[in-house]
Amino acid sequence: MSPVVRLLAHRLGMSLIVLVGVSMLIFAIARIIPGDPARIALGPNATPEQVENLRQALHLDQSIVVQYGFFVADLLRGDLGVSLYTNRPVIADIAQFLPATLELVLAAGIMMIGIGLPLGIISARYRGRWPDNLVRLVSLLGVSAPSFVWAVILMLLFAFFLPIFPIAGRISDIYSIEAVTGFLLIDTLIAGNVAAFGDAAWHIVLPAFALAVSGIGQAARLTRANMVETYDKPYIEMARSYGFPDRRIANRFAFRPSLIPALTIIGLDFAAMLGNAFLVEAVFAWPGLSRYGVAVILRKDLNAIVGTVLIISATFLIMNIIVDLLIAFINPRIRHSQRPA
């Protein structure tokens, strides 16, 4: 276990450095803003005095280094400042909207792995034959459109044309579920309301699939590419000559070593869904971070922009650490190595 612990410590340290860098980057971007954020927040009718007071309250009258210092000090206390858009603490806003987004991203991630990897395995096993060609074509189509296009197409096909799935939202209005975790699929179970759980699950299918389409394509393509390479290795030929069945060769001997390089990229894709979730949420009126994020960006709400991007980046880094640990568990060379990878 010790190499894995060391890997974890190493990755956590690296992520912390990167997160500090991200905070500087985002802070710098937010402060090169043309125009006066205090003036924008107060509107055109504010007196110069009011604007000046807000500028002082926000430390906008000091140098950018001092401003960053204030920002970090607040951040360490868990304070991201007050949103000029909702007049609430940014951290409270994010806590309200983030679970819905995370729920969507996690559901899409499960689809990406649950559908993408098997497609890749099939493709590699039947290399050059029709299942391979079909999977390659479909997965290339999948990565060839932004998720909002898939969202619109899926909605048109499976919510309007064939009214199988609901058009929008997270759950039908008839259910009122007390928010415990913010994850509806968990909260409905806590409440013991199976019907509400089913309803929420039914609502998440289309948005999650729209978000997952390009990830599924990417996962299938990567798995196939890596497996095709593995298939050329001598030990596969040896397994064949021993008479192992094709299915077993594919699922066991060829798939496992191929999974490792694929997982790194799949992890990145998984995390990129956090950004793409904005697009899908907009189409399906999913009450996540999207509407809030776009609204605060359009209103140049500095605290909220910095807070939202920072939280998303932190989530992104955490997801990548989890993927790295997963790889460490799968890969005996890292699991037993003496040096952090």
Partner 1 sequence: MRRTIAILLQNPLSLLGVTLVTIVVLSAIFADFIVPFPDHKGAVVDFANFNKAPEWPYIFGTDLVGRDMFSRIVYAYRISLILGIVVLAIAVPIGVTVGLVAGYLGGWTEYALMRVTDVFLSVPPLVLAMSIMGVLEPTLLNGMMAVTAMWWPWYTRLVYNITRAEKEEGYVLAAEVIGASKLHVIFREILPNCVPAIITKMTLDLGFVIIIASSLSFLGLGVQPPTPDLGSMVADGAKYLPDSWWLTVFPGLAILAAVFGFNLVGDALREILGADQ
- Note the residues at the interface with partner 1 (CB under 8 A): 14, 17-19, 21-22, 25-26, 29-30, 32-34, 137, 140-141, 143-146, 148-149, 152-153, 155-156, 160-161, 225, 271-272, 274-276, 278-279, 282-283, 293-294, 296-298, 300, 305, 309, 312-313, 316-317, 320
How close are the terminal C-alpha atoms of the chain, in Å? Answer: 14
Instruction: Return the number of the residue (164 or 180) whose C-beta is nearest partner 1.
Output: 164
Instruction: Return the number of the residue (149 or 322) whose C-beta is nearest partner 1.
Output: 149
Report the alpha-carbon distance of residue 323 to residue 5 in Å, rounded: 14
Cβ atoms of residues 279 and 66 within 8 Å: no
Instruction: Return the number of the residue (30 or 328) whose C-beta is nearest partner 1.
Output: 30
Joined together, the tokens standing for residue 123 give 């493709």
User: φ, ψ for residue 89 (rounded to 5)?
Assistant: -60, 135
Question: What is the DSSP code (8-state) at residue 160?
Answer: I
The type of residue at 179 is A
Closest listed residue to residue 123, CA positions, set 241, 233, 226 = 226
Q: Minimum distance from CB of 313 to partner 1 (Å)?
A: 5
Q: Minimum distance from CB of 305 to partner 1 (Å)?
A: 5
Report the alpha-carbon distance of residue 264 to residue 8 in Å, rounded: 16
Q: Minimum distance from CB of 227 to partner 1 (Å)?
A: 14
Instruction: Return the number of the residue (146 or 245) whose C-beta is nearest partner 1.
Output: 146
Report the alpha-carbon distance of residue 97 to residue 101 in Å, rounded: 7
Instruction: Return the number of the residue (55 or 299) whose C-beta is nearest partner 1.
Output: 299
Instruction: Return the number of the residue (26 or 254) whose C-beta is nearest partner 1.
Output: 26
Cβ atoms of residues 107 and 170 within 8 Å: no
Instruction: Return the number of the residue (201 or 279) whose C-beta is nearest partner 1.
Output: 279
Instruction: Return the number of the residue (99 or 217) whose C-beta is nearest partner 1.
Output: 217
Closest listed residue to residue 203, CA positions, set 320, 85, 103, 333 = 103
Closest listed residue to residue 209, CA positions, set 155, 168, 173 = 155
Q: Minimum distance from CB of 297 to partner 1 (Å)?
A: 3
Report the alpha-carbon distance of residue 89 to residue 79 in Å, rounded: 8
Q: Minimum distance from CB of 318 to partner 1 (Å)?
A: 11
Report the alpha-carbon distance of residue 236 to residue 73 in Å, rounded: 57
- Please enumerate in sequence order all residues whose Cβ is within 8 A of that of 79, keeping only pairs 6 or more positions apart, or say none: 89, 91
User: Could you tell me which residues are beta bridge partners of residue 82?
Assistant: 89
Q: Minimum distance from CB of 249 to partner 1 (Å)?
A: 23
Q: Minimum distance from CB of 272 to partner 1 (Å)?
A: 5
Report the alpha-carbon distance of residue 196 to residue 189 in Å, rounded: 8
Q: Minimum distance from CB of 246 to partner 1 (Å)?
A: 25
